């Protein structure tokens, strides 16, 4: 098995839109090739392979993992399947990139982290936002004190992806607006404010327990806070802002894939009259920086990437679990 960052051979598990976007962005990298794709329906895998120019198609994950040419597996299947597929890939000696969320709870994230430690292989949750150039620049400037001490964060990701009756929203698949959409506002808040002292939350649940909307307020010392919201059945302004003692930053919708942000800083006159906008070019579908970083980390012999460690994924999931535990729930009508 070749582990050189010069040419990693990737296997894609799942044939949905996210897998198409990942495959397309991998094709942009000289350090990667998509060797194989796997779906429960081999005909679906074959159609994906023909569309994306992938050499091999499999209808069985265990069969794909026996492929000695395969270096790394990207898992783009429903949440509930992430852990068993990741563990199987690690047992087969493959590196693993797992679409967010890494599992369905902090405990599942810990199971993967322990298996990764035993295997010595590279494992990461695919939180692509953390690798986007505009996001890296934004976080760097905020942490450097451009807007003074951060006092609050506001972030939302609410889009009517599916009707409440959609078969794609199923308890068996561990469908969840908190895990799908809410993880982005939560990640932003944790990156700039850290772990909250207290959490107040509300969720709207279907009868089968699938959360359709989620809202949380993170509470910190000295009155600092984060207001976060997510929904898969309605619009909630999908932008974000970070406010501090010396100014604020506006991140336009959709904030999790933004290529620009506007900083208002200084005295009141300057903050309103002389904002500065920072713009950075998008790379492919947005996954290129993350995929390139994964290849570089593996080529250097790393088992994790410092920008998104498994410990960070566990920490984020511990907060998601706290939101679910703290939430006042109402039933969807």
Using an 8 Å Cβ cutoff, are 251 and 235 in contact? no
Q: Which of 94, 100, 110, 154 is catalytic?
A: 100
The two beta strands, 225-231 and 211-219, are antiparallel
Q: Which residues face 158 on adjacent strands?
A: 231, 236
Q: For residue 248, what are its two tokens?
A: 């604020």
Q: Rounded CA gap, 72 and 75, in Å?
A: 10
Other beta carbons less than 10 A from residue 41's beta carbon: 10
Q: For residue 159, what are its two tokens?
A: 């889009």
Q: For residue 45, what are its two tokens?
A: 């895998």
Give the torsion sign (CA, 102, 106, 107, 113): positive
Active site residue 100: yes
* Active-site annotation, residues: 100
């Amino acid at each position: 098995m070749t582990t050189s960052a010069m040419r990693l051979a990737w296997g894609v598990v799942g044939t949905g839109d996210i897998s198409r976007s990942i495959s397309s962005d991998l094709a942009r990298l000289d350090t990667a090739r998509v060797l194989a794709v796997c779906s429960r329906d081999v005909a679906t895998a074959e159609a994906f392979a023909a569309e994306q120019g992938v050499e091999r198609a499999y209808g069985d994950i265990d069969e794909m993992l026996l492929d000695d040419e395969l270096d790394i597996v990207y898992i783009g299947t429903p949440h509930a399947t992430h852990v068993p597929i990741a563990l199987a890939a690690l047992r087969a000696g493959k590196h693993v990139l797992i679409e967010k969320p890494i599992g369905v709870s902090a405990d599942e994230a810990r199971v993967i982290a322990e298996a990764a430690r035993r295997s010595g292989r590279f494992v990461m949750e695919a939180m692509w936002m953390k690798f986007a150039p505009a996001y890296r620049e934004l976080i760097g400037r905020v942490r450097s004190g451009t807007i003074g001490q951060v006092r609050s964060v506001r972030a939302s990701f609410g889009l009517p992806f599916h009707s409440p009756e959609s078969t794609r929203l199923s308890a068996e698949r561990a469908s969840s607006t908190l895990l799908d959409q809410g993880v982005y506002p939560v990640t932003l808040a944790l990156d700039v404010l850290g772990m909250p002292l207290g959490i107040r939350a509300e969720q709207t649940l279907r009868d089968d327990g699938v959360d359709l909307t989620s809202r949380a307020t993170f509470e910190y010392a000295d009155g600092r806070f984060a207001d976060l919201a997510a929904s898969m059945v309605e619009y909630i302004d999908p932008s974000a802002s970070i406010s501090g003692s010396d100014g604020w930053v506006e991140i336009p919708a959709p904030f999790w894939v933004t290529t620009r942000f506007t900083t208002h800083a200084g005295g009141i006159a300057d903050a309103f009259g002389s904002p500065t906008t920072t713009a950075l070019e998008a790379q492919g579908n947005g996954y290129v920086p993350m995929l390139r970083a994964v290849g570089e980390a593996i080529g250097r012999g790393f088992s994790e990437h410092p920008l998104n460690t498994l410990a960070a994924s566990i920490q984020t999931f511990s907060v998601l679990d706290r939101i679910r535990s703290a939430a006042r729930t109402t039933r969807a009508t």
